[in-house]
């Protein structure tokens, strides 16, 4: 029986010492368990994705030194094969580097493979830095089993829709017993099911079992959920590692089947997995934990308006960092409702979060006098509304600067889409937690937070009050926007389209088709599409947001600012 160690770890881009120490410690752990092979993930030495750091010679030199350290450490475990991901120089024509998989044993590289399929869609831009590997199989005999290797995207083209090359074919021709795939696959809604279905079909098609090892953790906008798995040609997915946490598991392999290390049957994973709200909660919580930790922040600060967006942001921040590390500030103005303060107080009491009050009425009045004195025109309308948001944003940044807390912006995807936010006001911040959640999803996740806690965390009044920016008398979001349950369907259809899960796309498509049957519906849809286009300049200047969906704002949706369309 072949003994496999699955090392699903949380790496940081550029932390060569930390990444190297984690890899070596798990090599030791695998060797102590008498494993034949320890499998790590894609670009684990440098972290995924390093971007243009790959053009920095010092960065590349550190990667080489880290590899040398790992190879030296492997001499302490001479019978163990360690499969790792790193950067290698290209000796031929093309880009200077390869995205490489190395199999290391007793201080030597015993197999080397270069990723053939380099994604350039969505959030990926690997062809910017890497040259594809040759269309050949890389294999290695270990304990009487012939192993074949691939890297992440190499396994996503078995239906041959996106690339001319299908690396599965070379591995099948090489008659391998097992494919080992190392990955850095970020998660989004539906991604787990997509992975399982894709690789189950490929395993059945080629009659080959496959071990898929993924990394875990947050890196900038991306979150990697781990969820490493094993799949066979006849039983589909037979093993899955933990989701959203590091994991180390031992598997047996014989006769094209995976077993527990003692040879007993594995417990088949639940095909359904997490509910969408629970997945979303865990994705955001892990994303914030790692973003704050990697950027050196221990505390966060949030402007508390008494509304649903700031309430959910505060609740998620508490889950990620603890109540003692979350600060809320309420900043009432002349147009703030009584509930904007009282609901903030109740929320923070429920969460044991420190709440400060910093009224802005006098500041707004002072600005208004100064504006009229300087420009001989009263401050009114949208200018006055935006001023309030910008004063609040300035106060929050003052707190951030003074006390070293990371400011979390509170905009949701619906508002960010149509520009229902103030540049240099409520868009201020270092990170957005709910910027990839539509407004209807904000409500759903808020209700889930309460339900999971078994008590009222987010006050009922916050869940039921009509959404309002409270920047003008009796203002409601629906004064200038369709109801959110309608707006969100338009936005999903326009922004994500067929990238949506099938049932979501069908619902959005049906809604839009109904709209298009009437002149009023056509005008409403056209207006919303125009608002999305006109507000690209705001999104370009907004803080990064934690990605939850297949197409999030940021690197996942690259649109021109100056365009006529």
Question: Residue 100, SS3?
Answer: strand
Is position 538 annotated in a ligand binding site? yes
Is position 420 annotated in a ligand binding site? no
Element (H, E) at 146: strand 145-151
| b/e 213-224 (16+ beta carbons within 10 angstroms → b) | bbbbbbbbbbbb
Cα–Cα distance for residue pair 88/304, rounded to 1 Å:
48
Active site residue 46: no
Active site residue 246: no
Which of these, 281, 292, 317, lies nearest to 302 by C-alpha position? 317
- Measured on CA atoms in the order 310, 312, 315, 321, is the torsion positive or negative? negative
The full DSSP string for 416-474 is HHHT-S-TTTTT-SSEESSTTS-HHHHHHHHHHHHHHHTS-SS-HHHHHSPP---SSTT
Is position 185 annotated in a ligand binding site? yes
Question: Residue 518, SS3?
Answer: coil
Which one of 115, 346, 439, 492 is the catalytic residue? 115
Is position 309 annotated in a ligand binding site? yes
Query: Is 448 buried (19+), middle (13-18) or exposed (0-12) by CB count in 10 A?
Result: middle
Is position 305 annotated in a ligand binding site? yes
Q: Classify 454 in phi/psi space as left (phi over 0), alpha (psi -120 to 50) or beta.
A: left
Main-chain phi, psi angles of 472, to 5 degrees: -150, 160
Element (H, E) at 412: none
Is position 304 annotated in a ligand binding site? yes
Which one of 20, 44, 46, 152 is the catalytic residue? 152
Active site residue 115: yes
Is position 308 annotated in a ligand binding site? yes
Is position 121 annotated in a ligand binding site? yes
Cα–Cα distance for residue pair 114/427, rounded to 1 Å:
42
Which one of 3, 42, 240, 496 is the catalytic residue? 42
Q: Which two tokens stand for residue 349?
A: 């009491």
The percent helix, strand, coil of the chain (3-state, each to 5) is 40, 20, 40
Which of these, 489, 492, 565, lies nearest to 521 by C-alpha position? 489
Q: Classify 286 in phi/psi space as left (phi over 0), alpha (psi -120 to 50) or beta.
A: alpha
Is position 564 annotated in a ligand binding site? no
Q: Which two tokens stand for residue 30?
A: 């695998």
The pairing of strands 97-105 and 81-89 is antiparallel
Q: Which residues sit in the known binding site?
A: 121, 185, 191, 303-310, 386, 410, 415, 538
Active-site residue list: 42, 115, 152
Q: Which residues are annotated as a binding site for L-glutamine?
A: 121, 185, 191
* Binding-site entries for deamido-NAD(+): 386, 415, 538
């Amino acid at each position: 029986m072949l003994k496999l160690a699955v090392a699903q770890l949380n790496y940081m881009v550029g932390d060569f010492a930390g990444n190297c120490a984690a890899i070596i410690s798990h090599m030791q752990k695998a060797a102590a368990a008498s494993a034949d092979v320890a499998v790590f993930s894609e670009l684990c030495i440098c972290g995924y994705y390093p971007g243009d750091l790959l053009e920095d010679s010092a960065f590349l030199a550190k990667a080489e030194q880290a590899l040398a350290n790992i190879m030296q450490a492997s001499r302490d475990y001479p019978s163990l094969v360690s499969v790792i991901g790193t950067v290698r120089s290209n000796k031929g024509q093309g880009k200077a580097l390869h995205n490489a998989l190395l199999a290391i044993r007793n201080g030597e590289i015993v197999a080397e493979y270069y990723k053939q399929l380099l994604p350039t869609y969505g959030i990926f831009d690997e062809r910017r830095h890497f040259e594809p590997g040759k269309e050949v199989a890389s294999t290695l005999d270990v304990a009487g089993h012939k192993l074949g290797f691939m890297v992440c995207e190499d396994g996503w083209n078995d239906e041959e829709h996106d690339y001319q090359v299908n690396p599965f074919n070379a591995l099948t021709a090489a008659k391998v017993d097992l494919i080992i795939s190392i990955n850095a696959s970020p998660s989004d809604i539906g991604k787990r099911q997509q992975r399982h279905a894709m690789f189950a079909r490929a395993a059945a098609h080629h009659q080959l079992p496959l071990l898929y090892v993924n990394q875990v953790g947050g890196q900038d906008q991306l979150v990697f959920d781990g969820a490493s798995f094993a799949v066979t040609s006849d039983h589909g997915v037979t093993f899955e590692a933990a989701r959203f946490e590091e994991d180390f598991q031992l598997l047996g392999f014989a006769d094209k089947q995976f077993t527990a290390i003692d040879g007993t049957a594995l417990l088949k994973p639940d095909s359904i997995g997490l509910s969408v709200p629970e997945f979303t909660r865990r994705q955001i919580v892990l994303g914030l934990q790692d973003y704050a930790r990697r950027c050196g922040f221990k505390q966060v600060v949030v402007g508390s308006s008494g509304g649903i967006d700031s309430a959910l942001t505060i609740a998620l921040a508490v889950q990620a960092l603890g109540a003692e590390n979350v600060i809320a500030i309420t900043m009432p103005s002349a147009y703030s409702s009584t509930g904007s303060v009282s609901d903030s107080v109740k929320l923070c009491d429920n969460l044991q979060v420190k709440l400060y009050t910093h009224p802005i009425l006098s500041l707004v009045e002072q600005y208004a006098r100064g504006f009229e004195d300087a420009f001989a025109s009263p401050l009114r309308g949208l200018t006055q509304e935006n001023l309030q948001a910008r004063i609040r944003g300035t106060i929050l940044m003052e707190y951030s600067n003074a006390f070293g807390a990371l400011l979390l912006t509170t905009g949701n995807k619906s508002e960010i889409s149509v520009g229902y936010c103030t540049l240099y006001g409520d868009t201020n911040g270092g990170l957005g937690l709910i910027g990839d959640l539509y407004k209807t999803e904000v409500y759903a996740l808020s209700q889930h937070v309460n339900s999971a806690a078994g008590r009222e965390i987010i006050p009922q009044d916050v869940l039921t009050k009509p959404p309002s920016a409270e920047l003008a008398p009796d203002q409601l979001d629906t004064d200038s926007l369709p109801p959110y349950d309608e707006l969100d369907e338009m936005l999903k259809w326009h922004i994500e389209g067929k990238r949506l899960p099938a049932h979501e796309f069908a619902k959005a498509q049906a809604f839009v088709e109904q709209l298009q049957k009437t002149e009023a519906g056509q005008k409403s849809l056209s207006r919303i599409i125009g608002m999305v286009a006109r507000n690209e300049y705001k999104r370009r200047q907004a803080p990064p947001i934690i990605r939850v969906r297949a197409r999030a704002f940021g690197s996942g949706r690259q649109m021109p600012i100056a365009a006529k369309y």
